[in-house]
Structure 1
Amino acid sequence: MPADALFWDKIAEKYSCSPISDMAAYDRTLERVTHYLRPDHRVLELGCGTGTTAVKLAPHVADMIATDVSQKMVDIGIGRAREAGVGNLRFAVAQPGTAPEGPFDVVTGFNLFHLLADQDQILEAVRQRLKPGGMFISKTPCLSDTRSAVKRLAIRLALPVMQRLGKAPSVVQFMTVAAWQRQIEAAGFEIVETGSYPDDIPNRFVVARRC
């Protein structure tokens, strides 16, 4: 089992009980995501965590598969979907690069890509799973653009200690919004919408169409 799967398994229960830190930003993100969803769409979510977002998005589409590396996260997601009565949502344990092949109309990844060492490979995997013209919708903390220099420094200093103690994932990428968006475009996408919700990190929301 990959090290990060063990990490997420370990914190799954605590994670599932943690409140969303900025509900207004989360609601704004959901609003923009659902703008691009259609009742006939097939959707794949990468890094679904405990399924909160998948449960909210699935009623807007025909079929949705939510994936995560953590079996315990997925188990919680299955329970949430059952409790919500969402019948068109399936879950699977998978690495981002080995998720179901599709093709899909939309692939999503929220708070995921800064935790991946192989971003270019996963972006290519996303592109391959999308229909021509399909949408990649993501939201990614771009830690190098954190507005507060003090906060930015604090994160950089604390992160290695937290990783050694098993309190943080083994990979956390520091990138800028500009660099991240260039990376998406270089992978064969056309960016059609961006925004930061919230904007103090910023947590960059990007909608990109497969070219």
Structure 2
Amino acid sequence: MTDRSDVQFWDRVADKYAARPIKDVAAYEAMLADVASRLSEADRVLEIGCGTGVTAIRLAPGVLQWKATDLSPEMLRIARGKPAPANLSFAMADAELAADGDSYDAICAFLILHLVRDLRTSLAAIRDRLKPGGLLLSKTYCFGDMNIVMRRAVLPALQTLGMVPPVTVLTLQQLRQAIVDAGFAIDTVRSFGRNRHSHYIVARRSS
């Protein structure tokens, strides 16, 4: 269930977030290329936590339908203000309710699973809204694998200052196990670019 403070945080930073350049363009392009290679023109895709819609706008032309969701009205305002392909729609929803009962060939969760309040509930909701054999394509920060100073000093300080939202501190092993426990078979685990704590995972609904 959405926490009001999460919405307030992302609404507050939306304009600054939209203006921030991509840190590692080559890594971002490599991830997009891998995602696109796994999708087809017949696929219906749901994206959870779409932010300002940059990734959705890039990838939607390669599929039948792309529904991009976010819990922040301000993020969606910015996304809807951009030129977008006709098969792309934006809707307000959190990670547990984003699919509205529909079923999808693929669900994208980029930089969102470490932000949800209840990872297992969110993964279960994702699984239930995927068709059998459907793909979960995700990228997640595993703060639990960072050094102790970052985990216990820097991150809490940034949260106290309101510079970063609450996060779930996961290790890669914990993240993988949660995905498997939710009913997925993991196909790919890799990192793009210089950030070795940001993991791209492709998993398939087992049944």
Kindly report which structure 2 residues correspond to 1:12-31, keeping only aligned pairs within 5 A, or say none: 12-31=14-33
Kindly report which structure 2 residues correspond to 1:2-151, keeping only aligned pairs within 5 A, or say none: 2-80=4-82, 83=83, 85-100=84-99, 101-146=101-146, 149=147
Determine helix, strand or coil for the equivalent of 2:81. helix
Q: Is the 8 A contact 1:37 1:61 kept in 2?
A: yes
Counterparts of 2:168 and 2:152 in 1: how far apart (Å)? 10
Q: Percent identity at matched positions?
A: 40
Counterparts of 1:130 and 1:154 in 2: how far apart (Å)? 35
Q: Is the 8 A contact 1:142 1:201 kept in 2?
A: no
The gaps in structure 2 that reach 5 residues or longer are none
1:161 aligns with 2:157: yes
Aligned to 2:173: 178
TM-score w.r.t. length of structure 1 = 0.91
Instruction: Count how many residue pairs are aligned between Structure 1 and Structure 2.
Output: 203
The gaps in structure 1 that reach 5 residues or longer are none
Q: Is the 8 A contact 1:40 1:61 kept in 2?
A: yes
1:199 deviates by: 5.0
Among 187, 192, 208, the alignment partner of 2:187 is 192
1:208 aligns with 2:207: no
TM-score w.r.t. length of structure 2 = 0.93
More helix by share: 1
Two-structure CA RMSD over aligned residues (Å): 1.4
Q: In structure 2, do the counterparts of structure 1 residues 198 and 153 end up closer, same or farther at CA, with 3 Å as the change threshold? A: farther
